[in-house]
Amino acid sequence: MKSLHVTPSKIGGKLTLPPSKSQTIRALTFALLARGTSYIENPLDSPDIDAMIEGVEGLGGRVRRSSNGFEVEGGFKLEKNSFNVGNSGLAFRFITALASLGNTPVTIDGDASIRERRPILPLLDAINQLGGSGNVLKSGAAQVCGPWTGNCATIDGRDSQPVSALIIAGVVRDHLKVKVVNSGEEPWIALTLEWLTRLGIQWKRDDYLTIYGKEIKGFHYRVPSDMSSMAFPLVSAMLSGQELEIEEIDRGQGDAVILDWLKGDINSEIDVNEAIDTIPIMAVLGCFGTKRLILRNGLIARSKECDRIAVMCRELRKMGAQIQELEDGMVIDPAQLHGAQLECACDHRVALALSVAATHAKGSSVIAGAHCIDKTYKGYVEAMNKLGGAMRWVL
């Protein structure tokens, strides 16, 4: 297991971001459902993408890798009775929803994070309402079986991924009506609905979200840069007082709201629900601010790869942070951070955020297990060092 050694430095220059993980997975999923060949350019290189490709092929699609990206032959058909999604929460939800349309039992498993932390019960409950069968096995894996006999379900939407998964299944199961309660992470639901519009699939949203399924044709799509990954070098450059030029920004992604937050002085209180994944980096930014920062409405962050609220509070305190944990967020007062021995809990966004904190702390830090950043940002260390960073891998 590799650790990341970080020495204080200043970040600035020109940067090309990695492609979007969430858009790569959505592109693969819709390509599976399309008739004919779809072409996906500039996909992310990530273990999560590998897991989704295995899922697509187990659901009837065929994926060919090329120097330009992926060629996907669509053709949804359940061909496997078990899937392993590794650490990918998005693959977990999408594969589960589609597998539940078949007429044989299917088990969807993953690592400890998938089994113990990533909410799947809202999706399984909706599947049961629709006449399918969904349950969690003793191992923590999900098991589903169809086919559906109904067309209307209510789903808890505090985590957006089960909602997006059900929307995608609605493309196959025509005229699906979904009532979303406790809706959260709305920009990510909007991202899925934008895919429907792009592919000519009709939908409407009032008291219910109604999906009018139809056959879709193969498409050509270039994956944009990842807005979620952008936050880390951007904040690091801000704290350095340096300019950072970022190529190919696409504001049509869920975490784009961070650009609005960073335009001027950070508000004293921020509702982070629109961009849950920014909690780790916003916690770091708060430490270097000039006044108290309160992050609220981020309860679902406790159900990501790790409990991001608890872990960020714990690790930043090791560096001297003045930070108070709330049930749904945290209160951060400005403090001088110092280097420390840190743990990222195998969470890529925690590791990335701690690397920013370490870059601007006094003294060196070591982040154990930081190799998990490959999930969304392969080549991060090399990219930061080109921008003036001082990071190196150690065993």
- Interacting residues of 261 by C-beta distance below 8 A, sequence separation 6+: 267, 270, 278, 282
| Secondary structure of 154-178 in HEC code, one letter for each residue | EEECCCHHHHHHHHHHHHHCCCEEE
Indicate which residue of 159, 277, 307, 347 is catalytic: 277
Q: Is 277 a catalytic residue?
A: yes
Identify the three-state secondary structure at position 116.
Answer: helix
Which amino acid is it at 212? Y
What distance in Å separates the CA atoms of residue 251 and residue 209, rounded to the nearest whole number? 24
What distance in Å separates the CA atoms of residue 214 and residue 209, rounded to the nearest whole number? 16
Identify the three-state secondary structure at position 386.
Answer: helix
- Interacting residues of 140 by C-beta distance below 8 A, sequence separation 6+: 109, 114, 115, 116
Determine how β-strand 216-217 pairs with β-strand 34-35: parallel
Closest C-alpha among 68, 66, 69, 63 to residue 37: 63
- 84 beta partners: 109
- The residues annotated as belonging to the active site are 277
